[in-house]
Amino acid sequence: MRRSPRPAGRSRLPRPCAARPIWGALRPDYLQYVRVARERGTILDGHCPNLSGEELSKYLATGIDSDHTKNTPEIAVEKARLGMTVMLKEKCLLPEVVSALTALPQLPPLCLVTDDLAADHIAAKGHLDHIGRTAVAAGLPPLDALRALTWNPAQRFRKYDRGVVAPSKRADLLLLDGELADFAVHTVIAGGAVVARGGEATYPAPDVADHPFADSVHIAEIAPDEFRWRLDLPDRKHTFRALRVNPVDTYTEAAEVQLEVVDGEVQWEGHVALLWVRNRHGRPNTACVPVIGMPLGDGALSTTYAHDSHNFVTLGTTRRAMRATAEAVLADDGGVAVAHAGGVAARLPLAVGGVMSAEPTANVMAGSRRVREALEAWGWRHANPFMSVSTLTLAVSPSVKITDLGLVDVLARDWTPQVLDCCHWPANSSERGAPWPTVPSTVPPTAPV
């Protein structure tokens, strides 16, 4: 899974840096990071849905000059007129947005991009070729779509040796079948060498037995009581903060649930799903929160693919199923596993840093498909299952998310209490003796990705 476009080949230029904050980008501490990045020549890519007016001008003044989020037609035009590179992924390619942009006296240098596509999705629909077809269907002329897939991204990312067919340029070429608007790729040439033809790779499989990103899950074992939720609370029913998910996007609404506490243990099984986040990078942090909004049966999901820190995340309705998926992911040195009542139903090993796979493409596609089907069979029915579960920990996406340090109120840029009745810790960190660190300034208000 990866974002694109990123033209092929290597470069010594600094890689782009995605700047998610909106108002957070104007904070003095954050501006220091932006200043250092600009001094080093880093490309600053933005994340500012529907930001407009004076706030947008302030945002652009920091040097962050692109956006890949969903905007209204009016704001997309406003950003383009101010010189911001507008990047359009599939859900942004609405006919009204394309119509507004193409109605400008000159079409701005748009980039067509993807964002977190699972391997089985690519196998079924395509990658940037699918985005090209989607753009044309939304009203973008085919030649403009081609430019937005090639030349414009190459210019944006300072890859001046590619994006065009010309002498002295890098030979990264596609041979297409049929009409241009079909974007039906037949042959792929990278650096002058044919690497794929007719949908099949022609290059030899790389030797990936000894890559430098193995052993990234620094967790020794899954303890027998790993998913027992213990709190120092009196025995009675208490009100807890919960995350309410939806089947459409990554927005998580703050909700409340009432659960019994018996002998210091929260009785959550049989009432809610529990999201359990454990640090996998050598720190002892663990946090959890109830999750509601999906008709889940007996089962669980564990994954190390969880934005942005990619910790060890387990979501389940029973401790037994949670333990089964957690042990499977731990055994795979990272990845995704889904369990139903009968045991582990699907797994996708991601042993390269816990977020990628070095297995053959067909294996990864098949594993992704099995995970997607297992999630849907469990009851996690979402327009983009991989995106929805991997962003439950994305602490820049509203309105409440969880990290290994606790619950984050994204809009307020502050921690939010886990227990909401008379026994909860004060929301103000100074009042509660700062049991958690002050929320990082890079946790900003933003919108669903």
Task: Quote the percentage of the chain above a pLDDT of 70.
Answer: 87
Task: Quote the percentage of the chain above a pLDDT of 90.
Answer: 75
Report the 10 Å Cβ neighbour count for 300.
28
Given a contact cutoff of 8 angstroms between Cβ atoms, the answer to whether 47 and 19 are in contact is yes
- Which residues 6+ apart lie within 8 Å of 148 measured at CB? 88, 109, 110, 111, 112, 135, 140
**What integer is the mean pLDDT of 336-358?**
95
Q: What pLDDT does residue 204 have? A: 84
Distance CA 289, CA 147 (A): 45
* 9 or 449: which leads in pLDDT: 449
Across the chain, mean pLDDT equals 88
Q: What pLDDT does residue 5 have? A: 37
**What integer is the mean pLDDT of 264-292?**
97
- Pull the structure tokens for residue 168: 């002295």
Q: What pLDDT does residue 446 have? A: 38
| Centroid of chain to Cα 220 | 27
Given a contact cutoff of 8 angstroms between Cβ atoms, the answer to whether 444 and 21 are in contact is yes
Each residue's pLDDT tens digit, 83-139: 999 999 999 999 999 999 999 999 999 999 998 888 999 989 999 999 999 999 999
Distance CA 177, CA 179 (A): 7
Q: What pLDDT does residue 396 have? A: 82
pLDDT band at 393 (very low <50, low <70, confident <90, very high): very high
Report the 10 Å Cβ neighbour count for 58.
14
Beta strand 66-67 pairing with 85-88: parallel
- Which residues 6+ apart lie within 8 Å of 346 measured at CB? 336, 337, 338, 367, 370, 371, 373, 374
Given a contact cutoff of 8 angstroms between Cβ atoms, the answer to whether 240 and 259 are in contact is yes
Q: What pLDDT does residue 422 have? A: 61
Q: Say whether pLDDT at 41 is over 70.
A: yes
**What integer is the mean pLDDT of 233-246?**
97
**Burial label, 109 (beta-carbon count in 10 A; 0-12, 13-18, 19+):** middle
DSSP label at residue 232: S
